[in-house]
Structure 1
Amino acid sequence: MRGQELISTPEKRAVSEAGIVLPPDLLQPFLLRFRREDLHIMAFFSGHPDYEAVEAMIRYREDGTPAIRAILTRHDQSQIDHVNDDELSAEGQSVARQTCRRDIALAVDAVPGRRHARLEFDSHAGEPVVLDITSVGEPDPGRGGVSDPGSHSPNSSLPLMRRRASTLAGPQTAVFVGGTHFQVPVKIRSGPFVAHEGYFTEGHTFGAIRAGTIGYRVKTRPARMAVGERWILDSADGAMAYRIANRDPDGRLHITRDDGAGESIEAFAHRDGLRVMRIRKLAGEGLKGGLDLAFDNAGRFSLAMEGETIVSGSVEEKRQAGTTVIALSPTQPDWAVARQIRVTSSRNGDRLTAVTTIGRSWPAQG
């Protein structure tokens, strides 16, 4: 293929062993997100010129107040996040997804045999939004499981969502935008039983790879690949530090991020870079479980959440004109196939940049 050089023979052997080979000084190019939520509420609605769904992922802080990410979905399937929490606001940085800070009001009631929640916030455009949801019953573990995101945000996210216990919305459920009431469509009608197209979930786990850009300069790098050695990176969001926390007898390095982000890397030293086997994102420092992105020795990747593999597929690496491109192409489940991850990394002097796009095929080569 003219104008393109595939990985050289030694690098091909390294990839065939296991892992992906990163350029020098590039440690972790993937924008990983992971959170455990206490509640997830959602309703679809009809008749609005711009929006078709509103939802909220809710986690209660130690003081009992809710950290909320409220999401409006447009008809073109793009989404806007509205958040009331510093951590959630920070997660909205550097990603190809609109995020705005808002005050959000939430009231949750346990009605006998049902659940009720009322969510209120001003949209990114200043419109008052209300989701008032009453469920048809109590959340049921039998309705738990992995959620299909459908076509929402196809070019900004590869999301993984698992419900612990869930139930549908009842006829009392209502959505208001700008003071106007919009109908929530009927999903099931069987005799006197009517359920609408909304959901009330207790126990919700969320993980994702986001589209966006990571950029930084390396201020300090390890003099040798030994325990305690550090990389210090200078980014637009401030300094980040990664430390070699452990080294196995076979040379596998366990690298941790030192700012409490709950991020870790398993890799082998490879020439002047790393051959990465696994990247893990936890809900926070010291917590177990989380999101795991792993690479095997057959050119495959897997994305697991809380130890359960949810997405898997093939990995391809290319080098061309001073850039390295890593493509993760999901092959299962079906809903993930269209959300190919493409990470393009480059270097300009001492600055490294990794740009992630989602849902776009590699360009044809002449």
Structure 2
Amino acid sequence: MRASGGFPERFLNLCSRGNIPYWDVCCTNGVVFARTTPEGYRMMRPCAKKAGMRMKIVKKSGLPFLLSKNRVHAGLAVGAVCFVLITAALSGRIWTVNVTGCETVPEEDIRETVERFGVYPGMRKKQLDTHTVAEEAMSALPEVSWLSVNIVGCSVNVDVREGVGKSVKKNDAPCDIVAAADGQIQTLEIFSGIAMQERNAAVLKGDTIISGIVENRDGGMSMRHAAGYITALTKHTFSTSSHSLPSRRISDVKTRYTLLFFSLKIPLSARIEPDFTEDRFLTLGGEKLPIGIRAERKYIFALADATGDSLSALIALEEHFFKSSNNLRDMLVMSRTTTERQSNGRTVFFSEYGCLQNIGEEKKIETEN
């Protein structure tokens, strides 16, 4: 600090009487230079006033001023250390579960199945036996022909391959394999019996594809249980017409939010029975993080005027595709054509599907006693 003007000797004497700490005193041309503490500087001000001197800080130094100057940087350092520790702790856990390969099987069914066998966000990586989970999940999902579970970083990737149709049940009774529907054969694998058709051949429902009557080496005939795997391109048609319905309007909407953190769900409002649920997660570098929020909405309806033509047609279209997908759930859809026409004041939707279907069906060989 520096003190100028007035009486330097009186100023220093007053500081000494008040037990104010100061050192490295230098007096030049009536100007006093000295070092003191922050508290000492505050105590010197009345003494300087009595001695007629003006005080000024020349330089601040020491640990208190250094900490005060860098307190923002210290907070950043503490935050960085906490971030590293939290990241290190979470790196040993599963953040997300990704499902690929689903076509007809709902992705949510796959997620629920693997979660039932212990795969969920927040679990420790060391606790996951990928081979065992894959085998158990395949056993629980008969429509899946192959399933793998792999750990990639902090994510679990579930890769699914779906089967086409259902396999023919096995028994020992003599039988033929006949076509369950009209179609064009795409795959023909014979396990037992004699082929009566060729690949790419067109067959009608009931036509024999694999015969259970085979010729022996001695020229005689014997009956066996025919078996094989046959897929064919088949066509399926569906039609749905609209009809007038009493309409409803939304009179109120109730919303409930839930905070999602790994497998932990923290509700932020009272429970409702939702009509609609949406999950949104944070992303980093294109990767989904296990932190998000779930919005659940409950719609309160009131009666309104009769349904308009456009809304009635939209409801019929939704019903049409639901009926189609439900009937084709065991088939692989290869093509689809949908048309719309008006008939008697109603909208009629007509769809034609081209599917890959397992058409093998057992037919018992009738014998005369």
**TM-score normalised by the shorter chain: which range applies?**
under 0.3
Q: Which has the higher helix share?
A: 2
Larger radius of gyration: 2
- Higher RCO by CA contacts (8 Å cutoff, separation 6 or greater): 1
TM-score, reference length from structure 1:
0.20
